[in-house]
Amino acid sequence: MRERFSQFVTVEHNLAKFAVKEAKFTSWMDAKLETFQAGDYGNNLVEAETLVAAHASYESQLTNMQALLETCRGWAACPGIEAHAQHEATQAALSAMEEKLEQTVAAGTQHGANLESVREQYEAFEALDKVATWAVAQQEFFSTGIYGETLLETNGLIEEHSQWSVQLAAKRELVDGMSSEQDVIVERITAEKGNLDAIAEHAATYAAYLEMQKELYEKYDAMDKVLGWCETQNATFQTEEYGEDLAAVRNLLEEFKDTFTVNVPTQKAVLEEMTSEQEAITTRRDEVLAHMQATEEAAEYYRIQLLLSQERFEKLPALDRCEAWMADQNATFQAADYGASLSEVASLLEAYGTFQSNAAAQQEVLSTMESNQEVILNRLAELQAKMQETSAAAEEYQTQLLLSQERLEKMPAIDQVVAWLEAQHAVFTSANRGDSLADVLDLIAVHETFEANHAKQQAVIDGMETYV
């Protein structure tokens, strides 16, 4: 009897504990089912991870609940309980607990899977959103058409863009390393891969435009330098300054050689060796080449004018010296000073000898001088005519000198012959025939010398040649 009472008390005690634990178990299971059925997976990655962490605690709590169910099973199967009035109700409650556990486990498993899926989506989408945001920012930048307004800016953009491939590689590595069993994530990964491929194409196009802009700035800069050089040269040519004297002309020719002749091949090579696929560059190059050609034409005209100026400064003074020499000679000729004595005539003839050698030199200057300049040709023709006049005057002067010399040499001898003839004539025409034999003999003796003296005087006359 005592044993049955003790058994009854134990059953009552177990049923009481069963009721308490069954209520706790059912409450916990209902709360979890409510949570699972609510479908709250969080609105972002942080919330999702918080829920995943909370679900991990559910797993440990579930183990406790399963242990609690086992305890309740023990209580519901304790000796003597079959005879208790609550036995059926207890078994029904135990079956309800087992069913609730099964429902909760199934719902919890699904909820956990859903949480993991959602967390994976948030995690993947967050990473992919960053990639997408980066891609959109890059696309917007590439679409701005900003390639730099100066060579320095363009080089800076190129330098920045050189780092872009590193960023793209990192994004590709991130996306390529992502995988999932979820179609929505796989689709998003595929979409972002396509976006990265598209942005890579846009980046390549942008890089090409940057290089084109760099080429444009570099070659425009080179052409501007050539154009500036041409304008500097043209400024010199347009001054029409060809030198005020021979030294100045030679300096200008030397400067022309140093600044233009030496440098023009280099300047032309910049343009002639310049190639490009850009029409703007080739068009500008052709324009600058045309300007270069015009500069070369202006340079050639300038060079020719310098050479003509040099020729004038070299040849006109030579002609002036020739004219001055002729003027000096003509002044001598026109003075008609042919000498008052043989010594003076000899001196004048000696001086005339230097004239002849100098005249040959002057004539050579005139006869060998060539030019295409009218001012020189006119001056040369004028002086050639003057040289002919001077030569004619010189011949006349020489003739007069020779005649003067002849007169000074021969007239004294003629005067002596004339004086002898006059003396003889005076004897012959006088009435003196001698006043005595001695006088007559003296006269006969004197007259006997007449024939010899006459022959002598005749020989003087006969031996004379004259231009008079």
DSSP 30-90: HHHHHHHHHT---SSHHHHHHHHHHHHHHHHHHHHHHHHHHHHHHHHTSTTGGGSTTHHHH
Residue 458: the pLDDT is: 77
Residue 78: the pLDDT is: 85
Query: Same domain for 124 and 250?
Result: no
d(CA 179, CA 127): 12
Name which of 7-11, 148-152, 344-348 the model is least confident about: 7-11
Is 95 inside any structural domain?
A: yes
Is 106 inside any structural domain?
A: yes
CATH of the domain at 126: 1.20.58.60
Is 251 inside any structural domain?
A: yes
Residue 5: the pLDDT is: 65
d(CA 467, CA 406): 8
Q: Is the dihedral of CA 374, 380, 384, 387 positive or negative?
A: positive
Name which of 15-19, 27-31, 383-387 the model is least confident about: 15-19
* Structure token digits, residue 262: 């030496």
Domain boundary residue, one of 310, 345, 363: 310
Query: Same domain for 289 and 351?
Result: no
Query: Same domain for 229 and 306?
Result: yes
Query: Same domain for 140 and 177?
Result: no
Residue 300: the pLDDT is: 95
Residue 115: the pLDDT is: 81
Query: Same domain for 48 and 126?
Result: yes
* Structure token digits, residue 223: 């052409």
Residue 141: the pLDDT is: 87
Query: Same domain for 140 and 175?
Result: no
Of the ranges 23-32, 137-146, 223-232, which is most confident? 223-232
Mean of the per-residue pLDDT values of the chain: 87
Share in percent of the chain as helix, strand, coil (round to 5): 85, 0, 15
Q: Are 249 and 313 in contact (CB under 8 A)?
A: yes
- State the alpha helices, DSSP H only, in 335-436: 342-368, 374-429
Three-state secondary-structure class, residue 410: helix
Which whole number is the average pLDDT over 210-223?
94
* Structure token digits, residue 70: 């086992």
d(CA 121, CA 131): 15
| pLDDT tops 80 at residue 140 | yes
At 85-135, the pLDDT tens digits run 788 888 898 899 899 989 988 988 888 888 888 888 888 888 888 999 998
Burial of 81 (0-12, 13-18, 19+ CB in 10 A): buried
At 260-305, the pLDDT tens digits run 999 999 999 999 999 999 999 999 999 999 999 999 999 999 999 9
Residue 267: the pLDDT is: 95
Q: What is the pTM of this model?
A: 0.63
d(CA 124, CA 175): 9
d(CA 57, CA 60): 5
Domain residues for the domain of 179 are 169-310
Is 323 inside any structural domain?
A: no
Is 157 inside any structural domain?
A: no
Residue 4: the pLDDT is: 66
Query: Same domain for 85 and 211?
Result: no
d(CA 156, CA 412): 113
Is 286 inside any structural domain?
A: yes
Label residue 466 by pLDDT band (50, 70, 90): low
d(CA 379, CA 391): 18
Query: Same domain for 288 and 360?
Result: no
The percent of residues in the chain predicted with pLDDT above 70, rounded, is: 97
Q: Are 371 and 380 in contact (CB under 8 A)?
A: yes
Query: Same domain for 183 and 287?
Result: yes
Label residue 468 by pLDDT band (50, 70, 90): very low
Q: Which residue has the tokens 């069954």?
A: 22
Residue 1: the pLDDT is: 59
Ordered DSSP codes for 144-191: TT---SSHHHHHHHHHHHHHHHHHHHHHHHHHHT---S-HHHHHHHHH
Backbone phi, then psi, for 420, in 5-degree steps?
-65, -45
Cα 20 to the center of its chain, rounded Å:
96
Residue 154: the pLDDT is: 92
Query: Same domain for 196 and 302?
Result: yes
Is 295 inside any structural domain?
A: yes
Comparison of pLDDT for 232 and 44, the residue scoring more: 232
* Structure token digits, residue 161: 């863009």
Label residue 417 by pLDDT band (50, 70, 90): confident
Residue 410: the pLDDT is: 77
Three-state secondary-structure class, residue 210: helix
Q: Are 451 and 440 in contact (CB under 8 A)?
A: no
Question: Which residue type does 419 have?
Answer: A
Q: Which long-range contacts (CB under 8 A, 24 or more apart) does 67-71 make?
A: 68/21, 68/24, 68/25, 69/25, 69/97, 69/98, 69/101, 71/21
Cα 458 to the center of its chain, rounded Å:
102
In 3D space, the residue among 394, 389, 383 whose CA is nearest the CA of residue 329 turns out to be 394
Query: Same domain for 133 and 173?
Result: no
Comparison of pLDDT for 426 and 225, the residue scoring more: 225
Which whole number is the average pLDDT over 362-388?
91
Is 23 inside any structural domain?
A: yes
Comparison of pLDDT for 250 and 14, the residue scoring more: 250
Query: Same domain for 111 and 28?
Result: yes
Q: Which residue has the tokens 């100098």?
A: 358
In 3D space, the residue among 23, 101, 112 whose CA is nearest the CA of residue 59 turns out to be 112
Structurally, the chain folds into a number of domains equal to 3
